[in-house]
Amino acid sequence: MNAPPADYIHRSVALALAEDVGGGDLTAQLVPAGARGRARVISREAGVLCGTAWVDAVFAALDPAVRVRWHAADGATVAPGALLFEAEGPARALLTGERTALNFLQLLSGTATAAQRYAAAIAGTGCQILDTRKTIPGLRLAQKYAVRCGGGRNHRLGLYDGILIKENHIAAAGSIAAAVAAARRLAPAVPVEVEVETLDELEQAFAADADLALLDEFSLEDLGAAVARNRARARPLGLEASGGIDLATIGAIAATGVDFISVGSITKHLRALDLSMRLEVLG
């Protein structure tokens, strides 16, 4: 699970610090300039850790003298009360960086934790969890990384590395066949996926020789029928189920035999992991 490029992380951190610190941290100036401190960050609940590189980048940007020591790595499952990291250095830098560092860590850990819950719910089925483009603006690569840390798989990163033909594209092109043909001419090496809403439209995607089909809001019965039809083909497509999926329904959907299930709520309906930092002034 490779983290996003360092320059992306540094840009994200710079923007976050600029909006939080602005012209300077007024409250941190109540602490003597020469004071040193030691911070301890714990998780108040169980979850999957993600975001260590962003925390490191926050404190490095504020004061290179801060030293961060991690007790868990990205992708690790942590228990309530677990010590995640300790940081020691100038007390002002620790205080100034607290909120920004924890914002990144709790948000990305929350994303990884959600992905892990969905992945665990379909373990053993052969189906894989996919994320979507429904991410926090400016943090897509970060959240996509968090999904991988939680055991999910990334769908396309953006509009540039995959083609997903939806209802409006089909209407503009005139048909599924015409849309797929145009996509092949435009980007021959890029996988082409077609969103379908009925079994008849799935047959059209078969005939057009798409690479994948997104089965939107299919019933369990129709999902099973789609899988059976697909397996009977000489060149099966990848089948992705999508629409209104939650932890209560995902197991039955995976059991139909689809290859992928995309879940927008992993990155969209985000619940941050509950973290806490305590600072000890060393003098």
DSSP line for 222-243: HHHHHHHHHHTSSSPPEEEEES
Our answer to whether residue 134 is catalytic in this structure is yes
Annotated catalytic, 195?
A: yes
Catalytically annotated residue among 56, 88, 98, 195: 195
216 is catalytic: yes
- Give phi and psi for 75, each to the nearest 5: 95, -10
- Quote the radius of gyration of the chain (alpha carbons, Å): 23
SS3 115: helix
The pair of three-digit structure tokens given for residue 117, joined into one six-digit string: 């819950």
Neighbouring CB atoms inside 10 A of 45's CB total: 14
Would you call 166 a catalytic residue per the annotation? yes
- The whole-angstrom separation of Cα 65 and Cα 42 is 22
> Which of these is catalytic: 38, 40, 117, 134?
134
69 exposed, middle or buried (CB, 10 Å; 0-12, 13-18, 19+)?
exposed
Phi/psi zone of residue 209: left (φ > 0), alpha (ψ -120 to 50 degrees), beta? left
**Candidates 38, 40, 166, 229; catalytic one:** 166
d(CA 255, CA 270): 26
- What single DSSP character describes residue 64? T
What positions carry a catalytic annotation? Answer: 99, 134, 166, 195, 216
